Chain A
Amino acid sequence: MTTLASPDRSIRKGGQAKRHGRGLTGLLLVSAPVMLLGWLIIYPIFNAIGRTLFVKGDAGVRFGFDSYHQFLTDGYSLSNLWLTLWVTAVCAALLMATCLPLALYLRFAKSRVAALVQGLALFPMFVPSVILAYALIRTIGPNGAVDLVLNAVGLPKINSPYLTPWGPIIGLVWDNIPLTTLMLVAGLGGVSDNAVEAARDAGARHFALLRHIILPQIGNAMLVVLSFTVLSIFSAFTLPYVLGPASPEMMGPFMQRTFSQVLDTRMAVTQAVITFIICAGFGAFYVRSIAKNREARR
């Protein structure tokens, strides 16, 4: 009896060895993406920060914040940063206002029209940004399709948003609708039909349902959506470059121009680091929201 009950040490050792083997396989599997992350993201970040802080001069390498000081005291650079923040905030607000009703409809509608609406909502995902920019110029640009239609019915031309801050706003909102909608629909998937029905049973009409039941339950999902949207819009390049104003300009085109036309590499890297710091703030917010979501699910 004792023999049967006592642990078999050789089997235990085998088990541990197996576990160690599995652990090694796991480390090997994860090592490739970690190395890529280090090579393509972590190293360039530290390299860029180093290049902005250390300058090679006649007297050797010098440490200083002068490039940051230059950026933060230059009115044009600051107005570019504010424009980028403003466009990002307006886009985030418009995206939420557009995509939340759309996601609510897709989540709760039972009709066949919902499938058609979903198809239309996801369509912009398959249109490249440069094609979208060209299409918007042809539609709402000077003498575009809208102007032609208005002219045909004897109405005056529109004040075209092309080459104003509203140009990239329209393009970025249109471009980000699919992903934002998909993320919101996924968040709404966590609100059960029974939870909604129980609220209706208690007397909640549409607005009360949204305010007291649905929005509190998708709060974390909305934070994730906002962080993700802000990250992608803040660092956008193509649409602000093609549709946006020349001055002030958004950070993406500003960086590119500083690098390739002004040929001030150090300032371009400084602009990139400042952009990265702002995005990293939103990124931290995004990671915190994801962690909170996981905790809530537990």
Chain B
Amino acid sequence: MAQLSLKNIGKSFDGTDVIRDISLDVEDGELVCLLGPSGSGKSTILRMAGGFETPDRGAILIDGQDVTRIPPEKRPTGMVFQSHALWSHMSVADNIAFGLKLRRMPRREIQEKVAGALELVGLADYGSRRVWQLSGGQQQRVAIARALVLEPKILLLDEPFASLDQHLREHLREELRDIQRRLGITTLFVTHGQDEALALADRIVVLQGGEIEQVASPDQMYRAPETRFVAGFIGSMNFLACDMRGGRSDHAVFQIEASVSDGPVELAIRPEAIVVTPSATSTARVHRTTDYGTHILVDIDLADGTRVKAMCPPATRLATGQPVSLSADRVTVFRGTEKLADVAPVEMREVAHV
């Protein structure tokens, strides 16, 4: 059990700030996901935590001990790479035993630990195989076993499932979550897959341009994004531009009341927050429906030319061109990048009567 702290770390490459000024605490046994688009600096942070890059500014602490200048071979961290990084000239067991041999452990103890690690990742009978005889998923399990067998204080994973197919990725991340919970190991996980972050993390850190946009639990991150970037990056979101006048939005469909100063805003509405009802008098029309089995995604053209996406129950039957009326049960108001309010809109008619 260990705690990882990043204190005001910054990193530049060739004069360009890749990481600006980031502070983050990962608690004992916590799994934190670093999530962000390419170039957001998430892998650089992970590599700094592992000792493969040295921050230009700030400090990295593990259990309160400053490890900023300590090289990877002396750092109590274990890293799993996206490319597996297994050594092809060694067998599976030799790959896992390598770090233990360097620590000059007795042979019997090494054998026991290797067998335990293989058992943990479900590859008990694969020790004697060569790594190139394994599938991509099995190779990644060996990489996880190799990192875990050294009992690191902090487990670092750099997009470990990115090269695997969707089905295997989902399966492995469930396994990883189980192993991480069972061992209670503090984990920092880098991914650019929001579904992976939402499914795995205790907390998600969304990064953009080398800065933290928001740190929150998956639930909060999805339902209460603090910035426009997070709202757009996590899940899908409809952004509708309008003006606020006297605390009311002037949007033709989604009219809300919020104590927001006058001026242009964007209404952010999740597709699942939109309720679609057939209505002969409405100007909004169905553009396309896509059946995903679990739900139907409906693209709707509004009178002003904006297209919104709505997630409907699988039994919904809507035809292309059919007029529909829309309402939303939760709307977030943004001005620029700043969040102004979370509101539930009132019916258009009700607003008109006020």
Contacts and interface: CB of A to CB of B under 8 A. Distances in A.
B166 to A, nearest CB: 23
Interface stretch (A2-10, A116-124, A163-171, A212-220): A212-220
A203 B99 contact: yes
Contact of B85 (A197, A203, A204, A219): A197
Contacts of A200: 52, 71-73
A62 interface: no
Contacts of A216: 87, 89
Contacts of A100: none
A202 interface: yes
B89 A201 contact: no
A195 interface: yes
Contact of B87 (A195, A203, A219, A296): A195
A213 B72 CA distance: 16
A202 B78 CA distance: 7
A213 B98 CA distance: 10
A194 B87 contact: no
Contacts of A219: 89
Interface residues of A, number: 19
A202 B71 CA distance: 11
A187 to B, nearest CB: 13
Nearest to B52: A197
B115 interface: no
Interface in A169-207: 192, 194-195, 197-205
Given A203-B103, A204-B73, A213-B87, A197 B79 contact: yes
B98 A212 contact: yes
B87 A201 contact: no
A90 interface: no
B88 to A, nearest CB: 7
A194 B73 contact: no
Contact of B50 (A201, A203, A212, A296): A201
A199 B50 CA distance: 12
Interface residues of B, number: 25
Among B74, B79, B86, B103, residue most surrounded by chain A Cβ atoms (within 10 Å): B79
B89 A198 contact: no
A204 B103 CA distance: 9
A6 to B, nearest CB: 36
A289 B147 CA distance: 33
Interface string A265-298: 0000000000000000000000000000000100
A192 B85 CA distance: 8
A71 B147 CA distance: 62
B88 A198 contact: no
Contacts of A17: none
A151 B103 CA distance: 54
Nearest to B77: A201
Contacts of A198: 79, 81, 85-87, 143, 146
B71 A199 contact: no
Interface string B62-91: 000000000111100111011101111100
B4 interface: no
A208 interface: yes
Contacts of A208: 102
A194 to B, nearest CB: 4
A109 B72 CA distance: 17
Nearest to A209: B73
B52 to A, nearest CB: 6
A212 B90 CA distance: 10
A205 B73 contact: yes
Contacts of A195: 85-87
Nearest to A212: B98
Contact of B102 (A194, A197, A202, A296): A202
B300 interface: no
Interface string A133-159: 000000000000000000000000000
Interface in B254-273: none
Contacts of A205: 73
A40 B85 CA distance: 47
Given A198-B85, A213-B87, A203 B146 contact: no
B102 A217 contact: no
B69 to A, nearest CB: 15
Contacts of B144: none
B147 A203 contact: no
B284 interface: no
Among B71, B74, B85, residue most surrounded by chain A Cβ atoms (within 10 Å): B85
Nearest to B101: A212
Nearest to B74: A203
A291 B298 CA distance: 57
Contact of B146 (A202, A212, A217): A202
Contacts of B81: 194, 197-198
6 smallest beta-carbon distances between A and B, as pairs: A202-B99, A194-B85, A198-B85, A216-B89, A194-B81, A200-B72
23 contacts: A192-B85, A194-B83, A194-B85, A195-B85, A195-B86, A197-B52, A197-B72, A198-B81, A198-B87, A199-B87, A200-B52, A200-B71, A201-B78, A202-B73, A202-B98, A202-B99, A202-B102, A202-B146, A203-B74, A203-B99, A213-B87, A217-B89, A219-B89
Interface of A: 192, 194-195, 197-205, 208, 212-213, 216-217, 219, 296
